[in-house]
Each structure stands twice: as structure tokens, then as C-alpha cells.
Amino acid sequence: MRREITVTAPVNIAVIKYWGKRDVKLNLPTNSSLSVTLSQDEMCSKTTVSVDKSYTKDTLVLNGEENEINGRLVNVLNVMRESTTESEIKDLHVRIESTNNFPTAAGLASSASGFAALVYGLGKIFVPSYTNSQLSTIARQGSGSACRSLFGGFVAWNKGEKLDGSDSSAVEIAPQSHWDDLDALICVVSANKKAVASTAGMQRTVETSPYLQHRADNVVPKRMDDIIDAIKSKDFDKFADITMMDSNSFHASCLDTHPPIFYLTDVSRAIINVVHALNNAMGRHVAAYTFDAGPNAVLYVQRKDKELVLSIINSLFGPCEGVECNSLDNILRRYNIDADL
Ligand code: DP6
């Protein structure tokens, strides 16, 4: 008995950030979040999942190296094994081989695409009838942001209300084709592993930051409604403002953590200043920045402004060793910005 499948899953970059868990075991978030799924052309996780009667243990090989199977992966495997109706598969061991074509754990959403690919692959083997929405609740238990990578385009992760987490799943707000001249420029400030991993960082924030609860109760709910409106009406000015404000709100909660967590560097802050100066000079929004748990910037731009923004970033932070993605979906331009500022 053997089954094998190879899948790829995309990265997503949140514009309303998930930060904080109300239930660590089920990985339920403190607040809802919303992201844009990037094209898989340049950034994706590719995962081969197999089950075979000859396997004597579960194995995980990440970027060519055998890794320990941690608790979250065990949880995901357990859910799959408990849900399958095929008794001959239930007790088989799995082998998972996964590679990323971008820096792992550098605040570039590697756990999102990694767990999304894994859960999708496991789902096809153990419970082929699962919908993407059901798979998203399982991916969430691997890594919260992974639940959003089960869908393309603009994706909301509703925090849900139920104690068992069954309504804490992702939903597509609009397909990528709805706003296909929106591009993402990835500016790699540093490809090093992040100093404080997201899971540990957000727990520290939950335990020590008074601002986080205010953000969850009073800031994010309205922003979710407003950014969904902005996406539906393709209002870039509104989309950009909310995106930048929410990135800053998330990093403010990191600063409000005790001891504080610093993900942004001087180069990140210089990018923030450049974007505001540029938007100001143009009298409209030409770019919106957002930063995850690391110093790397993602700039959302409309395609008509892409060359302008690229040339400014190049001239200030170059030389650019980037490659430009020719896909029509999303753009990725990767920089190695080590500029001294
Ligand atoms: C800053 O999804 O990596 O990128 O659920 O603990 O695995 P875990 O956290 P993870 O956190 C992502 C945090 C973020 C914001 C976001 O993607 O919404």
C-alpha cells in the first residue's frame, strides 16, 4: 500500500495582522486577520507527502535536512488519522519532504506556505473529501497564518467564536483576478532567521501588552470591515492607509511587549519614511508597506506605479540583485538591502 502526492502552496502576506492566541492548543487567534496571497512563481513551498507500508516511522525532511516532528505537526497528523475513513491508511507512517524557494523563518511566511502545502497533501491522502475551508481549520492548528494560504486572492481569517475552533477558518473575500493590477514587491532586508519566533513572540505580547487587547477589541474589527470595502471597491488609497496603519499597530504591540520585541531595523524604518515621503510628494498613495515578524518590507503597489517605486527603492537601497517575476498575478522583486543608512 502506497500513496504519494506533490503539491505547492503559496505565501500570503497579511495586511491586517494576526498577533496573539486566545487558545494556544487549538491555535485560535485573538483577532481576525486578512491577507493577500502571492503568486507561486517565485515564492512557494513544494511538499511531497507519502504513506507506505514499509515506513517504520514518520519522517520530515525540510530543505534537504531531516527535522524533528514537533507538536504542531503531530497535532495535524493526528487530526488527519482520526478523520480518515480508510482503515488501511490510518496506521501508516508518513514521509514529508518540503522545500521553500525563499529564506525560511526570516519573517517571510514560510510556515504559512509550508503548513498549507502539507495539510493539503495530507488531506488528499487521508480525507480527499475535505473542502479547502475544512482544510484551513486543520492548517490553522499547524500555523495560524497557514489557514489563509489555502486560498488565492484576498483572504480573511475569521477568528471565530466557538470554543472548539470549528468556525475559526479562512474565507476568500475576492479572487486575485478581481484586482489583478495590484502587485507586491518583496524587499529582503535580511534573510537571517528571526530573533524571536512568531509563536513565542506573540505569547509574550499576550502576557504583557495592555495594548494588544485594545487592538483586538477596538482597532481590528473596524479595520477588517474597512479593508474589505477597500478591496471590493479597489480603492488603493484606503487599502494602503489601512495596510500601513495595521503594520504599525502590530509593531507597536511588539514594542509594548515586556521585554520589547524589535523586528524592524533602521533599514525597515528608512523604507517606511521613503514610502510616506513618496506618497506625500505624489499627492496620492503609490505604495503601501507592511512588515511581518522580521525586517523585510512588502510593498503593495498598483502596476502603473511599479517602475517608479522600484526605481526609487533601487536608487536608495540598491544595488538590486532582484529578479523580476513576469507573472501577471503578483510581482515579486527580491532585494538584498544591506544598505548603511
Ligand atoms: C506577523 O502564523 O507564524 O506574520 O500560529 O504561531 O505559527 P503561529 O504564528 P504565525 O504568525 C504570523 C504572524 C505575522 C502576521 C500574519 O501573518 O498575520
301 lines ligand 1 (CB under 6 A): no
CA dihedral 303, 191, 103, 335 (to 10 degrees): 30
- 65-77, pLDDT tens digit by residue? 999 998 899 999 9
Q: Is 205 in the pocket of ligand 1 (CB under 6 A)?
A: no
341 C-alpha to ligand 1 centroid (Å): 29
Q: Is the CB of 144 under 6 A from ligand 1?
A: yes
* pLDDT confidence of residue 322: 41
Q: Report which residue type is found at 50.
A: S
Pocket test for ligand 1, best of 18, 196, 205, 248 (most atoms within 8 A of CB): 18
Nearest atom of ligand 1 to the alpha carbon of 109: 4
Residue 13 Cβ inside 6 Å of ligand 1? The answer reads no
Query: Tens digits of per-residue pLDDT, 3-44?
Result: 999 999 999 999 999 999 999 999 999 999 999 998 887 788
Does the Cβ of 305 fall within 6 Å of ligand 1? no
* Distance in Å, CA 143 to ligand 1 centroid: 7
Distance between Cα 140 and ligand 1 center (Å): 10
Per-residue pLDDT for 302 more than 90? yes
How many residues does this entry show for the chain?
A: 341
Distance CA 289, CA 240 (A): 8
Cell digits for 314?
Answer: 533601487
| Averaged pLDDT score across all residues of the chain | 89
Question: CA dist 158 to 120, 175, 317, Å?
Answer: 20, 17, 37
Q: Is residue 287 classed as helix, strand or coil in its secondary structure?
A: strand
Q: What is the mean pLDDT of residues 247-263?
A: 98
Q: Which pLDDT does position 327 carry in this prediction? A: 28
CA distances (Å), origin 287, targets 5, 59, 61, 185, 316? 39, 43, 38, 10, 15
Cβ–ligand 1 contact at 153 (below 6 Å): no
ipTM of the complex: 0.99
Question: What's the CA-to-centroid distance between 115 and ligand 1, angstroms?
Answer: 12
6 Cα to the center of ligand 1, angstroms: 25
Residue 321 has pLDDT above 90, yes or no: no
Is the Cβ atom of 30 under 6 angstroms away from ligand 1? no
182 lines ligand 1 (CB under 6 A): no
Rounded CA Rg of the chain = 20
12 touches ligand 1 (CB under 6 Å): no
3-state helix, strand, coil in the chain (%, to 5): 40, 25, 35
7 within ligand 1 shell (Cβ under 6 A): no
Q: What is the pLDDT of residue 316?
A: 82
Residue 105: is its pLDDT beyond 70? no
- In whole angstroms, give the CA distance from residue 219 to residue 227: 12
Q: What is the pLDDT of residue 258?
A: 98
* Whether the CB of 111 sits within 6 Å of ligand 1: yes
For 337, residues 6+ apart whose C-beta sits below 8 A from its C-beta are 187, 188, 189, 267, 317
pTM (2 decimals)? 0.91
DSSP letter string, 144-166: GGGGGGGS-SEEEE-----TT-T
